[in-house]
Amino acid sequence: MGDLTGVTVVFDLDGTLVDTAPDLLRALDVVMTAEGLSAPPAAETRLMVGQGARALIERAARAHGIVWPEEKLSRLTEDFVAAYAADIARDSRPFEGAVEALDTLIGAGAVLAVCTNKRTGLSVQLLETLGIADRFAAIVGADAVPARKPDPGHYRAAVATAGGTTGRSVMVGDSAADVNAAQAAGAPAIAVRFGYCEEGVETLGADVLIDAYAELGAAVRSVLR
């Protein structure tokens, strides 16, 4: 038994575990092009992707001075999801050191889970395509719970599905939704500096900030003390 036996480490997906922005922005380009519009430059939209497909489409339209009605937004969101799922990991990759960090945590006895505002099916598809789904005891997307992050119930559901308890759990994420969900559930939160946080990761109120996955093991142990 390792020193993290009985600990559940919960990860956000987009912008935390996997750099999915290239494929999400590819899907956005498909949707916008079909409407005769250009997608905003990647440099402008990369930090928006963590807010979901619908918000991404709304903001891309707003850049052209367009506000689409709800019905059209719903249809375009489904078009986006179809384009994204058709080649979900063409350019998406785990962040540097992520897979090694997962294996190190598992070796120390931790159980891992994913708590993401992405749809569960897409999350499983992405992680399976990348060959890392088997590291996680639970993959809980936004559609698997009554209310998604920052609702603490989403975090609690991920921990419980993985067989853990919130009192011996840690969240690893890149957004206010991640930090707030965990802390509202009574768990500490670690935030990564390399994710898609538009407002600035230093403003999130995380218990610890890390610059790289090499720092994760020490961070998990420090917040559990």
- Where b means 16+ CB within 10 Å and e means fewer, 112-146 reads bbbbbbbbbebbbbbbeebebeebbbbbbbbebbe
Residue with tokens 């919130």: 166
Give the residue among 111, 93, 91 at the shortest CA–CA distance from 102.
111
Dist CA 208 CA 189 (whole Å)? 7
Tell me the residue type at 78.
E
Query: Is 143 an active-site residue?
Result: no
Give the residue among 185, 181, 201 at the shortest CA–CA distance from 193.
201
| Count of Cβ atoms closer than 10 Å to residue 218 Cβ | 11
Which of these is catalytic: 3, 12, 14, 207? 12
What sign does the CA torsion over 77, 80, 84, 86 have? positive
The three-state secondary structure class of 172 is strand
Catalytic residue set: 12
